[in-house]
Amino acid sequence: MPRLSLYKPEKGNDYKFIDRQASEMFQAGGTDVYLHKYIGVNTPLENATADQPHYANTAVTNIQDLLFLENRDGTYDTQVYRIRGLYNVQNIDFNLSQFGLFIDNDTLYMTVHINDFIKYIGRKPISGDVVELPHLRDDFALNDFDFSLPRYYVIEDVGRASEGFSVTWFPHLYRLKLKRVTDNQKFASLFNEQAKDANGDPVPNTTLRDLLSTYNQELSINDQIVAQAEADAPASGYETRQFYTLAVDPNTGKPLLQTADETDVLASNVSSKLTSAAVNAVPQRSGYTGYLLGDGFPVNGYEFGFGIQFPANPQADDFFLRTDFLPNRLFKFDGKANAWIAMEDSVRMNMTNNDTRSTLKTGFINNTNWTYNDQIASDVVSLHVNSYVINTKIPYTTAPYVVFKSDITILGYSLAEFPNLFSSYTYVSPAGITSNCLRVTLPVMTSSQVADGGMASQPYNPTPDTIEDGGNAGTAMQGQILDDSSGQQVIPFTGTWTVILYNTRESERQSISKALRPKADF
Amino acid sequence: MQFFYDGQIRRYITQVVRVFSNFVVKYGDGTLHRIPVMYGDPDRQVASIIRQNSENKVNSVPRIAVYITSLALARDRVSDQSFVGKVHIRERGIDPTTGIYNHDQGKNYTIERLMPTPFDLTFKVDIWSSSTEQKLQILEQILVLFNPSLELQTTDNYIDWTSLSVLDLTDINWSSRQVPVGTDTPNEVATLTLKTPIWINPPVKVKHLGVITKIITGINGNTATSGTYIEGLGIDPIAETTSMSDFIDVVVTTIKNYKIEVYASTVILLEAGATTDPREPTIDPAPAKVGGSIDWVNVFDVYPGKYIAGSSRIYLTQPDGSQIVGFIAVDPVDSSILRVNWNPDTLVSNTGIDSQGHLDNNPSYNASSSYRPNSTGTIDAIINPQTYNPLDPTNQGTVTTPSVGTRFLLVEDIGSSLNGTDGAEAWEGTTSGELIAKANDIIEWTGSQWNVIFSASQYPDTMVWQTNIYTGVQYLWNGVSWNKSFDGIYKIGQWRIEL
């Protein structure tokens, strides 16, 4: 007769009997636990680096960042698993921190049945698995939804529970250390899922983030604060448009008046601001001095034109804002000198960090321009404003990119983005020779092809060939000019344009560590 | 102490929140996520509302919290606390119909600003991130802005001389965690410490434009200092007084050094050396400026205030120091002419003349015994007695008798002692008496005859004011002739306008 021993090397019937009892105990006395199974992390191939590798398979054993030893972008099984667990319910206290209210003692220690967990989940629980406790749904939160708020935890540590060892010395229970989840990058895939109500039915047009996270409300509050900050200081420098500048004689200091009754007014030098009534002359410059006062607007609110080319027949004291200067520059036409005189630069800038802010520093960050290379062919053509079908004398061919240049104005288009960019036409030379040449038809740009000025939660999809229409953007002028009504791209002004076909292009904005790295073998 | 609060420190906090707003982090799937920035010392109730009063609500990461850790007086930037900085502002006019600014000059002001008190304000910016890589993304975007400081502006108001400041990045606490982390994993928070020099301003004074419009320079000789010598101590500088004597000259300088020509209800501008034609005041025609006319806009543009037709005023200083005031309006046809509605209450008081011919400065003057006891300083009309018939003023053949006390100022002689008893019949009395009067005399109807009550030849050195009731114009007898009482050229300093 062998010596009595409850311990056996193998998991025998005693173990199985006790394990079933333990399982039944969880079934009878435990609470449902919904488990969102962590299935791993994987860096997309195009973003992979040596220390942030792309794996052949997405697996729980993958490590996303080998330098920092962290997994940031977890993915979760869309299937939700139901298991049973036991834990001691505890009272909570809210801790008011600089980031809002937190639950002070938010760590739970839950036990689950090992074999049941393996049976249902298919593996051992690991740090990063997310559990949901349906019995803790909050039916009465102060939200606008008709749905209760679920309670989510993330497993931090997993170990065998000391109380789960039976007389056979084999463990039957896991002890899970649970912490409250936050709406962060690691759980983004989970929070991007559609929210479900207590019955498991989807909540229309609502993600779990919408339902459960403070993110949207925090953004809304942030937006309001920024709006107030913009109301307090809409732009750098000082607003002086509401102030009046008196035109004075530079020699006598006396006010300068001009009337149509003056006998010494030359017809060729008549101010456009002249009326039959006595009016003050147009000041030479603003009467207010200080830091960053130039806003591109004429003194005293005089009307002005703007564009990238001076108008053809100006009158004395006409104002014109050249939007192709960076910063935009305001000119006044001097009738005596018959020349446009620079008045001021529009140096006042919105101080909010946005995608179009273009100071010296932010101009290096908010930069969507391209640098085109590998010229294929070129031609010089005379084009009229608003034309969009351009016939060149380039023998018909296609290229990935076409660029129109005139002075500092550059319009660039990508064949990949606009497949109908190129076509051919028959050109008859003055000598009567016909040839098949390239015709470029400027594209119609949809609103989705306009660069998005917004920020929040938008896929990062820069379209460097586009600039915002209107406003005071358009300074770099490397991009497309939108026709206001149809989105039809047009030539912005009449003149001589160079049409160049390019084979490659690269972003003007590049990281300092990556710019001009070797592109070929040595 | 009256309450005032401008939310000045609040604006600094708002702008700091703005500085750290709109930064994003990039998730592994390429999406960009904006980082909310909020004040780091919320009210517990509001914090509870943000999480919808539910313990199930989930905090979002990353987050940035901004809060103040200290505010200290900056003794090194303290300046003269009594200094008042002034800035003169001319606003553009606002179209009353459209409510938008037009091209004209509007109101104008002088802003007085008292020296503000300097402080150093220290912020902490806590950056809560969910991973090291995420923290690096955030910090790289933020830290590049500090080189070494970041400009901060609380308002774009031109008169706010303290709206511009800087954020100095003074310290970076890389992590709130320690290595090794241990059994529990606290939130990962990096902290930037920012210091910004600020000023706290009292309210300003917004006044009407306070530019100097007239400078009076007096030149005196022989200054004398009173004797305040104290034996052993010298001259007491407090008790010392200096008196000036031997007045030599006074020079008055105004903004444009214009003089004016007043004629009845019109005023025109003259340069310092300009003249009019005719040179002396006349009843008719109005004197005109020799040379090009001067637009009144020249004056209105530079004087404080905004010209309002019918409400702006002109002041004429009279020889006796009194001032005549009129409400002005620029002639709609010729803006070099000012139309003035003189205020009769400001004219020099009329000189009373009783029926016995005594002026009111004569002890024998007795107005109550006069034929017009209530109006002894007025005349009913200025007439030419050689053409005017007091018995038939309208020349319609209807004989009317003048009212008792009727007074006329004569512009021509009437009657002569050589005529005996056969003078002009229209001026004869009902019983007897021929009227013999000279030009510039004032005559009065007693009910039975005309009497001369003011004989001009008897007053070669006396100024006498009389108002013509018929026209409302006051006239002055200057010993030689009757002139409108305040017509003429007013030199620099003898007139001014209030817009």
At A249-261, the pLDDT tens digits run 877 777 777 655 5
- 3 state DSSP class of A500: strand
| Among A465-479, B107-121, B169-183, the least confident range | A465-479
Q: Outline where B281-408 has alpha helix (H).
A: 297-302
Q: Which of A224, A244, A259 to mutate to test the interface with B (most CBs of B within 10 A)?
A: A244
Contact in structure between A466 and A479 (CB atoms under 8 Å) = yes
**By C-alpha distance, which of B86, B112, B491, B497 is closest to B303?**
B497
To which H or E segment does residue B224 belong? Answer: strand B214-225
pLDDT at A461: 33
**Taking 90 as the threshold, does the pLDDT of residue B277 lie above it?**
no
Give the up-direction half-sphere exposure of residue B273: CA atoms within 13 A in the CB hemisphere: 0
Q: Which residues on chain B are in Cβ contact (under 8 Å) with A240? A: 158
Buried-state track B252-268, b at ≥16 Cβ within 10 A, e below 16: eebbbebbbbbbbebbb
At B293-341, the pLDDT tens digits run 888 888 888 888 778 888 889 999 887 788 889 999 999 888 889 999 9
Q: Which residues on chain B are in Cβ contact (under 8 Å) with A352? A: 18, 21-22
Q: Which of A184, A223, A286, A356 to mutate to test the interface with B (most CBs of B within 10 A)?
A: A184
Q: Which residues on chain A are in Cβ contact (under 8 Å) with B157? A: 238-239
| Min Cα separation B213/chain A (Å) | 14
Give the DSSP letter of residue A305: E
Contact in structure between A61 and A15 (CB atoms under 8 Å) = no
Q: Which is it for the CA torsion A244, A250, A252, A258, positive or negative?
A: negative
Q: Which residues on chain A are in Cβ contact (under 8 Å) with B41? A: 98
Q: Which residues on chain B are in Cβ contact (under 8 Å) with A236? A: 151, 153, 156
Do the chains contact at A72 and B131, CB–CB below 8 Å? yes
CATH number of B8-205: 3.30.2000.40
**By C-alpha distance, which of B115, B112, B33, B123 is closest to B70?**
B123
Beta-strand pair B482-484/B242-254: unpaired
Do the chains contact at A152 and B145, CB–CB below 8 Å? no
Cα separation, B443 vs B380, whole angstroms: 10
**Least CA distance to A231: which residue of chain B?**
B155
Q: Which residues on chain A are in Cβ contact (under 8 Å) with B309? A: none
Radius of gyration, CA atoms only, chain A: 35
Cα separation, B462 vs B458, whole angstroms: 9
| Min Cα separation A362/chain B (Å) | 9
Amino acid in position B241? T
**Taking 60 as the threshold, does the pLDDT of residue B96 lie above it?**
yes
What is the pLDDT tens value at each position of chain A, 522 positions in all?
778 888 889 999 999 999 999 999 999 999 999 999 999 999 999 989 999 999 999 999 999 999 999 999 999 999 999 999 999 998 888 888 889 888 877 899 999 999 999 999 999 999 999 999 999 999 888 866 678 889 999 999 999 999 999 999 999 999 999 999 999 999 999 999 998 887 888 888 899 999 999 999 999 999 999 999 999 999 999 999 999 998 888 777 777 776 555 545 455 555 555 555 556 788 888 888 888 899 999 999 999 999 888 998 899 889 999 988 888 999 999 988 899 999 999 989 888 988 888 788 888 888 888 999 999 999 999 999 889 999 999 999 999 999 999 877 889 999 999 999 999 999 998 888 999 999 999 999 876 554 333 333 333 333 333 323 333 333 333 434 444 567 889 998 888 899 999 999 999 998 888 888 888 888
| Min Cα separation B7/chain A (Å) | 11
To which H or E segment does residue B477 belong? Answer: strand B473-477
Cα separation, A64 vs A61, whole angstroms: 10
CB nearest to B54's CB, from A149, A244, A255: A149
Do the chains contact at A68 and B105, CB–CB below 8 Å? no
Structure tokens at A48: 């992979």
Contact in structure between B188 and B177 (CB atoms under 8 Å) = yes
Please provide the size of chain A in residues: 522
Kindly provide the residue ranges of all beta strands, DSSP E only, lying in A133-201, ordered along the sequence. Answer: 152-160, 173-180, 194-196
pLDDT at B307: 84
At B195-214, the pLDDT tens digits run 999 999 999 999 888 777 77
SS percent in chain B: helix, strand, coil, step 5: 10, 40, 50
Q: In what order do the strands lie in the sheet with B37-39?
A: B37-39, B63-73, B117-129, B188-200, B164-173, B149-153
At B4-56, the pLDDT tens digits run 999 999 999 999 999 999 999 999 989 999 999 999 999 999 999 998 899 99
**Least CA distance to B15: which residue of chain A?**
A229
Mean pLDDT, chain B, whole residue set: 87
Cα separation, B497 vs B312, whole angstroms: 8
Helices and strands: H and E segment counts in chain A: 6, 23
* Residue-wise DSSP of B167-219: EEEEEEE--SS-SS--SS---EEEEEEEEEEEEEPPPPEEEE-----EEEEEE
CB nearest to A226's CB, from B18, B27, B302: B18
**Taking 90 as the threshold, does the pLDDT of residue B135 lie above it?**
yes
CB nearest to A136's CB, from B18, B24, B56: B56
**Taking 70 as the threshold, does the pLDDT of residue B142 lie above it?**
yes
ipTM above 0.90, yes or no: no
Q: In what order do the strands lie in the sheet with B450-454?
A: B381-383, B407-410, B442-445, B450-454
- 3 state DSSP class of B335: coil
pLDDT at B173: 95
| Min Cα separation A232/chain B (Å) | 5
Do the chains contact at A41 and B153, CB–CB below 8 Å? no
Do the chains contact at A229 and B14, CB–CB below 8 Å? yes
pLDDT at B320: 76
Q: Which residues on chain A are in Cβ contact (under 8 Å) with B147? A: 361
* Interface A:B, Cβ pairs < 8 A: 281
Contact in structure between A389 and A405 (CB atoms under 8 Å) = no
Kindly provide the residue ranges of all beta strands, DSSP E only, lying in A384-454, ordered along the sequence. Answer: 389-395, 401-406, 409-414, 422-428, 434-441
Q: Which residues on chain B are in Cβ contact (under 8 Å) with A183? A: 58-61
Please provide the size of chain B in residues: 499
Higher pLDDT, B66 or B271: B66
CB nearest to A218's CB, from B60, B185, B295: B60
| Min Cα separation A24/chain B (Å) | 30
Contact in structure between B485 and B347 (CB atoms under 8 Å) = yes
Q: Which residues on chain A are in Cβ contact (under 8 Å) with B49? A: 142
Query: pLDDT tier at B286 (50, 70, 90 boundaries)?
Result: low
CB nearest to B58's CB, from A43, A152, A233: A152
pLDDT at B187: 83
At A379-394, the pLDDT tens digits run 999 999 889 999 999 9
| Min Cα separation B57/chain A (Å) | 5
**Least CA distance to B298: which residue of chain A?**
A255
Do the chains contact at B158 and A184, CB–CB below 8 Å? no
| Min Cα separation A239/chain B (Å) | 6
Do the chains contact at B60 and A214, CB–CB below 8 Å? yes
- 3 state DSSP class of A325: coil
**Least CA distance to B26: which residue of chain A?**
A460
Do the chains contact at B295 and A278, CB–CB below 8 Å? yes
| Min Cα separation A369/chain B (Å) | 20
Do the chains contact at A255 and B297, CB–CB below 8 Å? yes
Beta-strand pair B37-39/B63-73: parallel
The residue ranges of every structural domain in chain B are 8-205, 226-347+490-498, 352-462
| Min Cα separation B292/chain A (Å) | 10
Contacts of A10 (CB under 8 A, 6+ apart): none
Structure tokens at A513: 């560590």
Using the structure block, give the residue that is written with the tokens 């319009």. A411
Query: Could you tell me the pTM of the whole model?
Result: 0.77
Whole-Å CA distances, A285 to A250, A288, A510, B28, B301: 11, 9, 41, 53, 17
Do the chains contact at A255 and B104, CB–CB below 8 Å? no
CB nearest to B105's CB, from A101, A244, A457: A244
| Min Cα separation B193/chain A (Å) | 15
Contacts of A334 (CB under 8 A, 6+ apart): A316, A340, A341
To which H or E segment does residue A108 belong? Answer: strand A108-113
Cα separation, B9 vs A517, whole angstroms: 48
Distance of CA B317 to the CA centre of its chain: 19
pLDDT at B282: 54
CB nearest to A278's CB, from B103, B256, B335: B335
CB nearest to B60's CB, from A182, A277, A354: A182
Cα separation, A456 vs B306, whole angstroms: 50
Contacts of A290 (CB under 8 A, 6+ apart): A237, A238, B158
Do the chains contact at B28 and A100, CB–CB below 8 Å? no
